[in-house]
Structure 1
Amino acid sequence: MYKRMKLVDTVRVAPNLLGDDVRVSVKDALKAKLEGRVDKNIGSVVAVTDIDEVGEGHILVGDGAVYYDVTFEAIVFVPVLQEVIEGEVVETVEFGAFVSIGSMDGLLHVSQITDDFMSYDGKNGRLLSKTGGRSLAEGDRVRSRIVAVSINEREPRDTKIGLTMRQHALGKMEWLEEERRPKSEQAE
Structure 2
Amino acid sequence: VGKIDKKMGLMVTVKDIEEMGVGKVIMGDGAAYHEVVFTALFFKPDLHEIVEGEVIEVTEFGAFIRIGPMDGLVHVSQVTDDYINYDGKRGALIGKESKKTLEESNKVRARIVALSLKGKSSKETKIGLTMRQPNLGRVEWIEAEKEKRTKKGKGKKEKK
> Are 1:88 and 2:54 an aligned pair?
yes
- Cα distance in 1 between the residues matched to 2:31 and 2:127: 38
Contact 1:90/1:139 (8 A) holds in 2? yes
- Cα distance in 1 between the residues matched to 2:62 and 2:29: 49
- Cα distance in 1 between the residues matched to 2:101 and 2:30: 58
Partner in structure 2 of residue 183 of structure 1: 151
Contact 1:58/1:66 (8 A) holds in 2? yes
TM-score by length of 2: 0.87
Identity among equivalent pairs (%): 52
> Are 1:103 and 2:44 an aligned pair?
no
List per-residue Cα deviations over 1:144-170 (Å, max 9, x = no partner).
010111123246423110001111111
Q: Which moved further from structure 2: 64-73 or 100-109?
A: 64-73
TM-score by length of 1: 0.75
Root-mean-square deviation (Å): 1.5
- Cα distance in 2 between the residues matched to 1:74 and 1:94: 38
Partner in structure 2 of residue 147 of structure 1: 113
Q: How many residues align?
A: 150
Using the TM superposition, give the Cα deviation of residue 55 of structure 1 relative to its aligned residue in structure 2, in angstroms.
1.7
- Cα distance in 1 between the residues matched to 2:24 and 2:123: 34
Unpaired runs of 5+ residues, structure 1, are 1-34
Contact 2:25/2:33 (8 A) holds in 1? yes
Unpaired runs of 5+ residues, structure 2, are 153-160
SS of 2:36 mapped into structure 1: strand
> Are 1:123 and 2:89 an aligned pair?
yes
- Cα distance in 2 between the residues matched to 1:45 and 1:112: 29
Using the TM superposition, give the Cα deviation of residue 64 of structure 1 relative to its aligned residue in structure 2, in angstroms.
4.1
